[in-house]
Structure formats: C-alpha cells, structure tokens
Structure 1
Amino acid sequence: MKQYHYLFDSLNDLERACYDLEDLGVAHNHLHVANNNHLSLEKKHLNDVGTFGDTDLIHSGLRGLIIGVVASAVCGTLTWMYFGHHELGGVITAFVSLIALGFSTWLGGLIGANHDNWRLSPYHDLLADGKSLLIVDMESGQEEQVQRLMASQHREAVHTGESSSVDSPLKGGWHLHLKEFKQVA
C-alpha cells in the first residue's frame, strides 16, 4: 500500500479534505493525521496517528532486533568458546544469546519511544509550528483519483511526498528528532 503525504495550514481545511476523500471511497481508517494538538483531532473525529505512528517505537525496535541478532551471534560464539567444554555450556550460551537479543530490541524500542516517527521526522519543525500532516493510505487503483481530487478541490494542501506503508527498519535516517512532550496545566 502506498502513502501520500499532504501538509495543511488549517485543521478545518484538512477536515474537509478527509470528508471529500471518504466520499471518494478512501476508508476512514486509511486517513491518518499528525498534529501536535491531539484533543482537536479527537473533537473533529479525525484519525490521530496514535502513539505507534507518532513515535519511532516499532521502527527503532526492529532496528534493535537486527542489531540484537548480530550481538546475539557474537556473544553466543564467544560464550561457547569460553564455556563450551562445561556441562552447562549450551544453556549458558543460549542464556547469554537471549539476553543480548532481548536487550538490543528493548533498547531500540526505548530509544524509539522518545523520538519522532521516522516518517514524521522531516515535518518535525512544521508540526511544531501548528501545521497538520495528512497521510493517506491508498490501494493501487485509488492513486490517480486522490491526486486529481486534491489538486482540484484542495489547492491549499501541499503534496510533500510518498512512502510505503511497510515499516522497513532499513529505511529512514539514523538521526531522530527527540519527541517533545508537553505538560498539561
């Protein structure tokens, strides 16, 4: 599935675009909105990207898993070389390998939970300035219709890019923007 990204200055314009896209046949759960004011999105019944879409938890966790597989193999090999002759050498090796794998995955997820999603990272400053990002998940037959609708009826929307809906740990940069958590008074 392909994702199209549209940047809006006004949340009201974005809401109208969502209604028009739904009338076109795009499912409501295929429209995701990134905005720093989550309460406004809830009041307008717009799909917030949510915690998993707002943070890099899954993406960084998968990166941690890949690093953990390598660390697990290295730690397992070294442990086996040292404890292989011991009668519990296999158990110790398996334990050390699992700890290395689990720790790397946990650490990747922890890092991702405190950073912007890699897809939202290019829009970090714009979202901080109050703009909104609409991410439209489209099936292969809808692309042309959506582009035509947005170009003709929603000229205020700026098409900022496309991406795949598959969350590949190999995509995206290694520099992540720290998530800004605001305190509610």
Structure 2
Amino acid sequence: MKRLYFIVDHLKHTESISDDIHKAGISDWHFHVLSKDESGLYRRHVHTANIYHRNDLVHSGQRGLIFGVLFGILLLLGLHFFNIELPQYIPLIFFVMASCFGAWLGGFYGIQMNNYQLKRFEAEIDKGKYLIFIDVTRKNQQQVKALMHQYHPEAKEMGQGNTLILPFA
C-alpha cells in the first residue's frame, strides 16, 4: 500500500477531510492525523496517529533484532572457536537471549525517537499544522488524490511513502 501525506492548517479542515474520506469508503485503519493538538482531534472524533506512527519503535526494534542476531552469531562462533564444552541447548539459549536483548534495546531507543518516515514533516507539525496520512491501494490512489484536490484545495499534498517499515531505510 501507498501512504499519501497532506498538510492542513486548521482543525475544521481536518475534520471535513476526515468526513469526506470516510464517505469515500476509507476506514480509520487507513486514515491518521498527527498533530500537537491531540485533544482537539479527540474532541472532534478525528482518528489520530498511534504510537507506532509517532515513534520509531518498530523500525528501531527491527534494527536492534538484526544486531542482536549478529551478536548471537558472533557469540556462537566464539564458543565454537574456543572449544568451550556446553550442553547443546545452552548456545541456543545464548543466541535467543542476544537476539531478544537486541530487539528490546532497539525498541527502547526507538520509543524515544520520532518516526523516521515522518521526520520531513516535523517543522510543519511544530508550527501547529495537521499532518494527514491516508493509506491507499494502487487502485484507489488516483480517486483519493482527485477527491482531495477537488473538495479540499486547502490541503497541501506533501508526497507519498510506503506503509512498510524497512529496517535499513
């Protein structure tokens, strides 16, 4: 799926866009708004971005997992190289623990950081604007763009991205 990004200046425009997007058949699962004004979005029943959209939890967790796996492999090679005699299940436990620790540490770091996909919009959000992102299929991408341009010229199109979270993007 593709993710379309739009910036809007006012909450009333954001609410209007939300209503029109829902009328077009796009559910809350595919429509999110990120803003400093969380309470205003809540009062107007506009679907806000969740923690996975705001923070870099998944992306950093994936990276941490990869580094944990690599560390686990190095640990196993070290045990093998130094010819350390252990029961067969112990090296597997070390490997799993290293992998889990890497994922945990990466997630712990990522929850403190802003989402890497949204860094380009931080200045606009800090100014009090509303970032709208809509997940669309290729089939309905042009329909959503046409709807936004026709009925909501106040929404500035900011490009598109991908809904996948890639560890080395």
Q: Same fold (TM over 0.5)?
A: yes
TM-score interval (norm. to shorter): over 0.9
Relative contact order (C-alpha < 8 Å, sep 6+): which is higher? 2
State the partner residue of 2:2: 2
Distance in 1, Cα, partners of 2:38 & 2:163: 22
| DSSP-derived class of the 2:149 partner | helix
Query: Displacement, 1:114?
Result: 0.1
Give identity over the alignment, percent: 28
**Aligned counterparts, 1:146-185, within 5 A:** 146-171=144-169
| DSSP-derived class of the 1:120 partner | helix
Aligned residues between the structures: 169
Matched, 1:99 2:97: yes
Q: Contact between 1:80 and 1:93, CA under 8 Å: does it hold in 2?
A: no
Which structure has more helix as a fraction of its residues?
A: 2
State the partner residue of 1:144: 142
- How high is the TM-score relative to the length of structure 1? 0.85
Distance in 2, Cα, partners of 1:82 & 1:46: 60
Residue type of the partner of 2:166? S
Q: Contact between 1:79 and 1:96, CA under 8 Å: does it hold in 2?
A: no
| DSSP-derived class of the 2:139 partner | coil
More deviation, 96-105/55-64: 96-105
- How high is the TM-score relative to the length of structure 2? 0.92
Gaps of 5+ in 1: 172-185
| DSSP-derived class of the 1:45 partner | coil
Q: Contact between 1:34 and 1:132, CA under 8 Å: does it hold in 2?
A: yes
Distance in 1, Cα, partners of 2:50 & 2:6: 18
RMSD: 1.5
State the partner residue of 1:62: 62
